[in-house]
């Protein structure tokens, strides 16, 4: 999914999760956190692309060409093998798991559940898009 789509999902899921779970922090702050997590978790794609290709050309393309970076994001990772999508989803799960575990260990179980719900929604959206359902 594109960043704006993830932001919209993060907004909706974050608002619902904040109302249901009531973790510490104001509603507005939690919704902003959900949008940021929903969008910025995708930065891992550039690290994976760096390992795959051996250079930062994908990041350079997204940063130097605002049209591609913001509106035509599907062009940023063209030409990668199918298993790149699997690595991307695995990376999201690892990042989410570490974030949730860290928050639990820090004693903030409700915030951990909140972040877990937001990351889960992100991954489901990616799976829906990758499978052609949405």
**In 10 A of CB 72, how many CB atoms?**
13
Q: Are 53 and 70 in contact (CB under 8 A)?
A: no
Q: What is the pLDDT of residue 77?
A: 87
Q: Are 45 and 88 in contact (CB under 8 A)?
A: yes
C-alpha angle 78-83-88 in degrees, rounded to nearest 5: 80
Q: What is the pLDDT of residue 71?
A: 80
Q: What is the pLDDT of residue 54?
A: 92
User: For residues 48 and 32, what is the distance between their CA atoms, to the nearest angstrom?
Assistant: 26
For residues 26-60, b (16+ Cβ closer than 10 Å) or e, as one string?
A: eeeebbebbbebbbebbebbbebbeeeeeeeebbe
Query: CB-based contacts of 67: which residues, under 8 Å, 6+ apart?
Result: none
- pTM of the predicted model, to two decimals? 0.89
User: For residues 91 and 85, what is the distance between their CA atoms, to the nearest angstrom?
Assistant: 10
Averaged over successive runs of 10 residues, the pLDDT of the chain (134 residues) comes to 91 95 88 96 93 92 87 84 88 96 96 96 93 85
């Amino acid at each position: 999914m594109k960043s704006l789509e993830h932001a919209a999902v993060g907004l909706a899921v974050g608002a619902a999760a904040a109302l249901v779970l009531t973790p510490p922090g104001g509603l507005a702050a939690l919704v902003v956190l959900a949008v940021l997590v929903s969008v910025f978790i995708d930065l891992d794609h550039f690290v994976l692309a760096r390992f795959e290709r051996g250079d930062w050309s994908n990041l350079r393309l997204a940063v130097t060409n605002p049209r591609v970076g913001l509106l035509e994001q599907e062009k940023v990772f063209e030409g990668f093998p199918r298993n790149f999508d699997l690595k991307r989803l695995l990376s999201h799960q690892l990042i989410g798991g570490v974030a949730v575990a860290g928050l639990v260990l820090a004693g903030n179980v409700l915030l951990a559940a909140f972040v877990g719900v937001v990351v889960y929604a992100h991954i489901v959206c990616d799976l829906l898009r990758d499978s052609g359902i949405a």
